[in-house]
Structure 1
């Protein structure tokens, strides 16, 4: 066992956390009789040598020895080892090669090519592992037939043999998936695999789950050949499958440490909890259906029909996975999502609290389009408060607490005051108050009740401690949006404390908040002025912006802004240009420099400077401004929100932008800054307004016919 293991210079190689010299010990530990030692070694291997799917030279060098473990019948936990081998190979194919099979060159080099070459040399052995007496080993090995066995006839024959022999749903799903992987990898196998999948899909003796898998995997092999009957067929098979698979309770999440790591912000803890939830799969058909949705792509109505069926499943785990897929669809693709929003909102009334909590969370993340769910959210919140009392926000029952909090946050993001009682309860009790603070700014009509509580929370933050900026910044942001002048004094005090404690991020946020209060914050003007020469790159422009907002002294602000324009830091230039644009014509002294910056090599600088030129110079600057904006939006679609905002202010002079605007609105995938749902919805709204204003009657009619307006 392990001949040659110590002939390898492991110390000369690395993994995610440094030297790979521990690899031999990890490999030996994988065959230890002690289950705890094996588990710890496997976790370490995944966490360091195969970190987040990465394949290092040390990962590839481990494969011969992992294969020995997999092939040795006395190895404990062989299925886990086989699964590790397959994972390394799959990730190597995904990360190391283009779609046409060309190797991607990385520096420093990865072990992807070495791993794939080795596994293809040993590809025939996956056929034996797929016939192993241990069903878990077979399940783990089946994908290797599609990924690594180059003998297409043998691979196809073994897959047919295994489908006839295997009765477990998970194994049958993997066999059909492996067949598709074989066809996608080796064109010589495509025809026979497609014919086989077509036969399976039409064979009622196979059962609905296998037939559904065949339909989906055939689509995956030929997404350009999706016919009108594919989705209705899949929906019908999905309906049958729901009653062919036993309904099970949702498995509880793995136990986690009761107390978070000391000093870690609750927002970070929650982010990791959310990441853990996203990686969990609750239904055996979920991975298959994800593949189907991926193949359907921009076909939003068809995907909604599939999701509607998923969301009606009697199995709560299937519905939970479907709720998440619904969120992914709405956040990624444009379209009318009203039906899907309402279907997700219907899940708020389910007895499965995990599903209700996830539905509320999805509505919160999709809040720009979640208005149709407003009443369902309000009803859910009121029912919880009636059944469990006014302090249900802080209930010790974790799933109920999450369900309530996410629903309250979603309703608050819709600007609905019915979220207020729970937000006030959170702020008064200090139970998960940070979740309430994040949405408090969405209820300006309740500023008189929210602002005193937010100020109290801000006063109680100890700025001498590290990792307080997330909490302080969120409060300062909320106070800035709410705009209640009663908060000016506490914000000014926070600025002074943040400066004295060297908390630059909080200093920046306090400056932005004071700027939002305008002249009412004049009492803090000296403190603000002293920070206009700060060495911190983010504090300095924030101080200049606040000084102008509070004092309005052009003669004082202009030299500072020109200094930022002349500097090398690109976001300084953008910030300064934005402020000069707000000043308008009185900032004309900056126009020569702004014109020069239209040739800057960074498109974001060009966009900000072009927008400022329009605000300052008006119609005379229109040709250069328009040319700069359209070029930037073409080359970097992330600038689209800024571009269309300026175009909207240009009025009829923006008419040459019509073709680009039509092209932008015709895109099926969300765009704009970060391709986020909020930026994209705003981009579409402004774009449609612009087109309606600028298009001729004939052009407008055509756009209506094409559903672009």
Structure 2
């Protein structure tokens, strides 16, 4: 086995992290009898040799040996190897028509897997159901003979005892039809017959309905959704908890910022599925796309499942719908909120997380969240799902400005248990500033600024103190002094931004701020803080003008300062006009805004043209653009058609494409249209 493996000059090739000379060792480890050794090798192969779907020359060189492993029935974990082959092949076929420079070779891998199409046919008929499950997707992707592929898939469906593999067969037939359109009509007829087959299990019939819709989205109607729901009800037999359990926690660095550790945990949770129809239903939601009422009706049925795993998957799909598409989500918010009372704590925790993530529209769930939170004891619960659910619900309540979150936040900040989560939302409760400010200040002072990963925690605490807006200047000024002393300019800039928010009441910090307007890394934030706190145009205009000529430190920040100064900054007008031709849309928006604030109505035509062009070229600028339009008053009338067009878009948009940004974008658009028309 592996004849010629060491004849290849692996050191002349690279993968995602450098030299590919480790690849032979990984391939040898994939045939090890030691499961842990195989798992490590497989993980490394995915992480480096097939990094995020990329296919390198060394990946292509590995393919013959991977096929050799998969062909050998004595290979332990053959299904993992076949799955790896399908993953490499699917990426290669999907991206093989694009020319890449450097070490990427999708086209080469595509030729190899297509040349071994019959091998995948053999794998799809393997006695081992795990191998069949891994191989079947390849039939729809790598077999170019339509008649051959269709015949094999039909034959497999007739002989396949596993309904999970049957779902994959139906999906492969759809992939074949989408890849080779001459097969679409035949495939659609097959889907129709299969969906009506009384001998097929409901899950397989549901797959036929979904994949037919995927191949012909223009033919989807209310009847399609109704048929899917009826089959979903037939398939719902309920599942035992041990059938899915809790997803494993990913390995993350122990000394990483807690926010990053939590993000990896969330990523792992979202990669996990807990019901066999989850991927199928996600595909259906993808086909339904902007049909929000139909998707909500479908999710309502999913959320009624007797299987807690199916409900958990449905909650995540509900989050994806609300986060991705505009519409009236009040009903869905309430359906998710009902699961706060689920008997399974993981389902309840997922419901709380969903409501936290969509906090901008979570108002209908306020009372349900408060009832679920109860007292502060759940914040430190020894039961992981209970702790997570409580913390997510507290954060959701706090983001709604509800003081019933305060006892838990105080307990967290007092005890130090996951205090960073409390800090994230403390700024949303200014009415509780008297209790929270001292605790957040203590948290900020406790941070070791010398630690390489403290920036995120420091920014979060500074932001919270700005939101609380009471008695925090001293602690922020101390942080600024400490950051400057250690030349930690990222933290110093965050502290300067925080002090700027306090305006003249932060005057004692001016002694530290003034020298910083000459320092490269901190100059933009220092100039902005000097203006916000000192308010002297004569002291700020010249430094701000200097920043307009320094692309490395931020034109936008300087333009924002000049906009705040207004007519007293008239000497900046020529430079601001020049910058309306800048290649960065964000800079153009900031400069156009400053031009309006300084020059007023005479500048309106060029300002409006710049704003609307930037918005059209870069939709992420939308929030800043409409905020400026709002300040322009009647001068913004020509923007009405673009405002109306924005409201007709079904997908979420805005700076971070978040629910909050998008809801605010829609709100301002409606206000402007009503005011200007």
Aligned counterparts of 2:7 and 2:229: Cα–Cα separation in 1: 56
Quote the offset at 1:264 in angstroms.
1.6
Match of 1:419 in 2: 405
* Structure 1 residue 208 corresponds to structure 2 residue 193: no
Match of residue 393, structure 2, among 381, 404, 407:
407
- Larger mean CA deviation between 669-678 and 402-411 belongs to 669-678
Give a deviation string over 1:89-115, Cα, whole Å, max 9, x none: 112223x24xxxxx1111214221111
Further displaced range: 425-434 or 489-498 = 489-498
Query: Per the alignment, in what secondary structure is the counterpart of residue 647 of structure 1?
Result: helix
Cα deviation for residue 255 of structure 1 reads 5.7
Structure 1 SS opposite 2:580: helix
Contact 2:483 2:491 in 1 (8 A): yes
Matches within 5 A, 1:359-370: 359-370=351-362
Which of the numbers 308, 331, 335 marks the counterpart of 1:343?
A: 335
Does residue 1:682 correspond to 2:674, yes or no? Answer: no
Give 1:29's aligned residue. Answer: 29
Kindly tell me the number of residue pairs found equivalent between the two proteins: 677
Q: Structure 2 regions of 5+ residues with no counterpart?
A: none
Question: Matched residues in 1 for 2:52 and 2:591: separation?
Answer: 41
C-alpha distance in 2 between matches for 1:355 and 1:113: 43
Q: Would you say 1:316 and 2:308 are equivalent positions?
A: yes
In the other structure, the counterpart of 2:510 is 525
Q: CA deviation at 1:37?
A: 2.7
Q: Does 1:143 align with 2:134?
A: no
1:60 corresponds in structure 2 to: 60
Q: Is the contact made by 2:192 and 2:208 (CA closer than 8 Å) also made in structure 1?
A: yes
Deviations 1:100-159 (A, max 9, x none): xxx111121422111111111110122221111111111111111111112222221221
CA distance in 2, matches of 1:298, 1:88: 31
Alpha-carbon distance, 1:262 to partner: 4.5
Whole-angstrom distance in 2 between the partners of 1:35 and 1:44? 14
TM-aligned CA distance change 1:553 to 1:18, over 3 Å: same
Unaligned runs of 5+ in 1: 98-102, 696-709
Q: What residue in structure 2 maps to residue 100 of structure 1?
A: none
Residue 462 of structure 1 is matched in structure 2 by 448
Q: CA deviation at 1:369?
A: 0.9
| Equivalent residue, structure 2, for 1:378 | 370
* Match in the other structure for 1:11: 11
Question: RMSD value over aligned CA atoms?
Answer: 1.6
Match of 2:601 in 1: 619
Partner SS for 2:25: helix
State the Cα deviation string for residues 165-208 of structure 1 (Å, max 9, x = none). Answer: 22222111111111111111122322221111110011122121
Structure 2 counterpart of 1:302: 294
Q: TM-score, normalised by structure 1?
A: 0.93
| Offset from partner CA, 1:619-641 (integer Å, 9 cap, x none) | 22211211111121122221111
* Deviation digits for residues 44-89 of structure 1 (CA, Å, limit 9, x no counterpart): 2222211222211111111111111111122221111111111111
CA contact (8 A) 2:136 2:168 kept: yes
Structure 1 residues 634 and 678, CA, compared in 2 at 3 Å: closer, same or farther?
same
Paired residue secondary structure (1:229): helix
Q: Is 1:554 paired with 2:546?
A: no
1:205 is paired with a residue of what secondary structure? coil
Match of 2:497 in 1: 512
Give me the whole-angstrom Cα distance separating, in 1, the residues matched to 2:329 and 2:249.
Answer: 36
Write the distance in 1 (CA, Å) between the matches of 2:61 and 2:377: 57
Tell me how far apart the structure 2 counterparts of residues 43 and 654 of structure 1 sit (CA, whole Å).
Answer: 55
The runs of 4+ residues in structure 1 deviating greater than 6 Å are: 244-247
Residues 166-315 of structure 1 correspond to what in structure 2 (within 5 A)? Answer: 166-243=160-237, 249-254=243-248, 261-315=253-307
Please say if 1:123 is aligned against 2:105: no
Distance between the aligned counterparts of 2:589 and 2:303, measured in 1? 44
Q: Secondary structure at the match of 1:3?
A: coil
CA distance in 1, matches of 2:608, 2:568: 22
Contact 2:429 2:467 in 1 (8 A): no
Check whether the contact 1:374–1:411 (CA below 8 A) recurs between aligned residues: yes
Conserved in 1, the CA contact under 8 Å of 2:238 and 2:307? no
Contact 1:169 1:284 in 2 (8 A): no
SS at match of 2:273: coil
CA distance in 1, matches of 2:238, 2:391: 35
The residue aligned with 1:535 is 520
Q: Does 1:500 align with 2:516?
A: no
Instruction: Describe the SS at the equivalent of 1:243.
Output: coil
Name 1:698's counterpart in structure 2.
Answer: none
Mapped partners of 1:513, 1:33: distance in 2: 58
Query: Residues 121 and 262 (structure 1 numbering): CA distance in 2 closer, same or farther, change over 3 Å?
Result: closer
What's the counterpart of residue 609 of structure 1?
A: 591
| SS across alignment from 2:222 | coil
